[in-house]
Structure 1
Amino acid sequence: RKGNFSSCSFLLWFLPSFSFSMSLDISCGVLFPPRLPEPPKICPVRTAEHTITPLNNTDHFLVSAFMDQRVKGFDLRIISIFKTNSAKPLYCLFCCAGQLSNTTPTNILQHAENFGFLFVTADIMCQIPQNCNATHVTLQTKPERVKALDQLWLPIRNQKTTGNEEKKLQFNFTVCISNLFGGINNVSASHHTLHSVDRVVIYNTSCGPELDLLFQSYSRTGFLEIVPWPIDLFLSPSWGWLYSLSGGDVHYFGQLATLNECVYRSMDRSRYVLLNDIDEIIMPYQHNNLTSLMNTLQQQHPKVGVFLIENHVFPKTVFEPSKRFHLPKWDEVPGFNILEHIYREDPDRTKYHPYKLIVQPRLVEQVSVHDVLKAFGTTYIVPPDVCRIIHVRGSLRGKLDAKELNEDTRLWDFHEKLIPNVDKALERAGLLRSEPAL
């Protein structure tokens, strides 16, 4: 009787002298053929350990690989830093559950905006072979497979999962900060705890000691993800945005590559991604937080995937005269107290005026610093009375006094939350001096 336990026992009882030199599966009276041994794993032998990986036999660098089936004919996108005058055919080689695939040809998409530099951001598009459960990928310059031992393999992120895409998103809002270099030590990053931001991702080449302490403290809470970005070990990065002005190999320490990498890193985790700098706040002016703002904007503009937010400068040399929020306990902390700067410049609209971005990552393909280069949705410029960037920095319009500027105290509406958040973060990092005893 198939499936009866007693029949299983009966069969075993009458096989005492059977030679078990080969593996048998015995299940409820059915004798199965021996299981074949699992094939030996031959890849990946060496997985890339750093964010920037030189590609063998080329002048190119690989950053990270992501599943991406939004472009017809391709399954995979590799973010890379590409030498424009050194283009040659490339081939993808996949690790399929430990086994090597055949190679597949690539399509190399150099980003249109490169500001004149020799090294640019590029997407290398690949198709995964059929019946390949791809876990890692590498690139080679010849279609013939090479030894797995000779390759550095990139893990493939954003693997396909089943279920409702919206339900699996871990965060509502992720802020992408790129790049920190030159030992920057402005400890004014605690404002990112405002307005429903769930996570901050920072690409760090170098920063000052106090800022590093703050970062380590935030990392331990899970709020901050620090991505090491040692671009200066491989190239001579530019300190400026335009090659003709500043020279170097690559724009602003590879800023365009990190912005795109962060969008894809966040694609399966975050509903929205904010692309702005460490000294900028995307500030709603008609809503109390980003969630309320984006719910309204998305309802009004359901096809929009890119929201452009206008940049407004608050000169750091002009202070609020009453010193209401001058806090002596912050005097020894590097950086500046953003609450003391409430005077805003009018943008010079006769010149190019930059924006920063809030994007739905699943609706964008390639991003730049102030715009999106390729998208699947439409773009909307958010009116500044709805939302604008508060950017405390040097003036763009020369030396203006308070009478020539616009008073803007919007940030003060959040001081009851902001000040304790900053105090807590500074205390946790050991950067806040104790209050003198009365």
Structure 2
Amino acid sequence: KLCGGKKSYFAAVVCIITLASVVTISYLKSQRLSVLPKIIQEGRKCRREIANNIITPLKDNKTLIIAPYFDSRESKVTRVIGIVHHEDVKELYCWFCCQPHGKVYVSKSKIDVHSDRFGFPYGTADIVCLEPPDCDPTHVSIHWSPHGNIDQLPRFEIKNRKAETSSVDFTVCISAMFGNYNNVLQFIQSMEMYKILGVQKVVIYKNSCSQLMEKVLKFYIEEGTVEIIPWPINSHLKVSTKWHFMQDGTHIGYYGQITALNDCVYRNMLRSKFVILNDADEIILPLKHPDWKTMMQSLQEQNPGTGVFLFENHIFPETISTHTFNISSWNTVPGVNILQHVHREPDRKDVINPKKMIIDPRKVVQTSVHSVLRAYGNSVSVPVDVALIYHCRVPLQGNLPRESLIRDTTLWRYNSSLIMNVNKVLYQTVL
């Protein structure tokens, strides 16, 4: 008899543990084997046409593909940034066509829906597939089945395949520009502040904006500062302007902001030393350093191995203004003049100020809006006497009198450069 009849209690326990271990190892091995790429066809010519939309729906109607990225930080995988229905999408497969022999491999994916879904039925997902061991595929197709014809599947270029050295120090990711965005003056001021502080690239996931804003964006694109990623997510899903689900039939929060941020991290993983995740009305203002480069050098020296630096958000209400820097030529431009808003709301009792981040993209696996979900290395909260986020917007504490606000003119340190640079842009675009 197995684990024979009259053996001691101890022997029986050992036997049960051994059996359980064997079963577990067999199960894990079978699971591992089930995701290994399998050759299903040979001698094919790999097609060249690729899907070139930023958002590509699969025929299952519950999956949207944004972009695949090569990720070798843990193992050799293709990580596809996508959006899925968190319950209905059970299986997805990566189809790789490998040259020169035209072998088609199918690899079962691990679908990792990000935890920050905020109650919406659709959420950001990493669709992760092991790559064929003897091939470095340049393209991948995604399908809900391991069976079918690869020629009929959308085909995507796998980005980040070639190692690059970081070509820029700082890239700002802004997601998403929507609602016929027309805060032109504040946008230009933010852009010029970013440049003063050390940014070389601003990536904007654009859903909609005004014609005047289009003109300004065109200027920054031609200048080489802005990269526009079209973001027509409302063509595919019912989007909410709220960050949390309101039981209103919408599919995804805040125009798919979290998906765009994750795509931006991977898109800039090899080309930017740091990535800043904030909105267009937010500026990370250093208080002890002249710019981001010197600030980050100092923060990295103090926090070796840290990949995520969190900065506290502080509201400077656009309803409270000063007469200083009331520049008449700017009054015809739609939007807020941030130089006139230097009073910030005090901290609220028992309320934690939200944070935004400067990250080392190579150390981040998944991000949310105010924190990362998975990363290698530590996250550090930067003290407010080192830097804070200047966030000029409608007040959160609208009932506070002016005397209760904190006058903070840190922004004015940059006023002469900022005014000169903003004027240059305005005279070439708006005025």
Shared fold per TM-score greater than 0.5? yes
Shift of 1:245: 6.4
The answer to whether the 8 A contact 2:95-2:150 is kept is: no
Specify the code of the residue in structure 2 equivalent to 1:119. Answer: Y
The answer to whether the 8 A contact 2:62-2:89 is kept is: no
2:293 equivalent in structure 1: 291
Shift of 1:45: 4.5
Specify the code of the residue in structure 1 equivalent to 2:70. Answer: M
1:206 equivalent in structure 2: 208
The higher radius of gyration belongs to 1
How many Å separate the matches in 1 of 2:406 and 2:56?
A: 48
**3-state SS of the aligned residue for 1:271?**
strand
1:399 aligns with 2:396: no
Matches within 5 A, 1:44-123: 44-72=47-75, 74-97=76-99, 99-123=102-126
Specify the code of the residue in structure 1 equivalent to 2:375. Answer: A
How many Å separate the matches in 1 of 2:161 and 2:414?
A: 39
1:189 equivalent in structure 2: 187
Shift of 1:246: 5.5
The answer to whether the 8 A contact 2:312-2:355 is kept is: yes
2:411 equivalent in structure 1: 411
- Cα deviation, 1:237-265, whole Å, max 9, x if unaligned, reads 01101113665100111011000000000
Answer with 189-198 or 301-310: which moved more.
189-198
Match of 2:132 among 109, 119, 129: 129
2:149 equivalent in structure 1: 147
Shift of 1:147: 2.5
2:9 equivalent in structure 1: none
TM-score (norm: length of structure 2): 0.86
- Cα deviation, 1:129-150, whole Å, max 9, x if unaligned, reads 1222311111112223x32331
1:29 equivalent in structure 2: none
Specify the code of the residue in structure 2 equivalent to 1:110. Answer: V
**3-state SS of the aligned residue for 2:422?**
helix
Specify the code of the residue in structure 2 equivalent to 1:118. Answer: P
Structure 1: give runs of 5+ residues left out of the alignment: 1-38, 433-438
Answer with 395-404 or 341-350: which moved more.
395-404
Specify the code of the residue in structure 2 equivalent to 1:411. Answer: L
How many Å separate the matches in 1 of 2:352 and 2:317?
A: 19
Specify the code of the residue in structure 2 equivalent to 1:184. Answer: Y
Structure 2: give runs of 5+ residues left out of the alignment: 1-41
The answer to whether the 8 A contact 1:231-1:253 is kept is: yes
**3-state SS of the aligned residue for 1:374?**
strand
1:230 equivalent in structure 2: 232
Shift of 1:90: 1.5
Shift of 1:353: 2.1
Shift of 1:87: 2.1
How many Å separate the matches in 1 of 2:415 and 2:249?
A: 42
2:363 equivalent in structure 1: 363
Q: Taking structure 1 as reference, are residues 348 and 100 closer, same or farther at Cα in structure 2, changes over 3 Å only? A: farther
**Cα RMSD after superposing both structures:** 1.6
Structure 1: 4+ residue segments shifted above 4 A: none
1:174 aligns with 2:171: yes
Specify the code of the residue in structure 2 equivalent to 1:266. Answer: N
Specify the code of the residue in structure 1 equivalent to 2:254. Answer: Y
Shift of 1:103: 0.5
Residues paired across the two proteins, number: 384
- Cα deviation, 1:307-344, whole Å, max 9, x if unaligned, reads 11000000101011xx2201111111111100000101
Answer with 238-247 or 379-388: which moved more.
238-247
Identical residues among aligned pairs (%) = 40
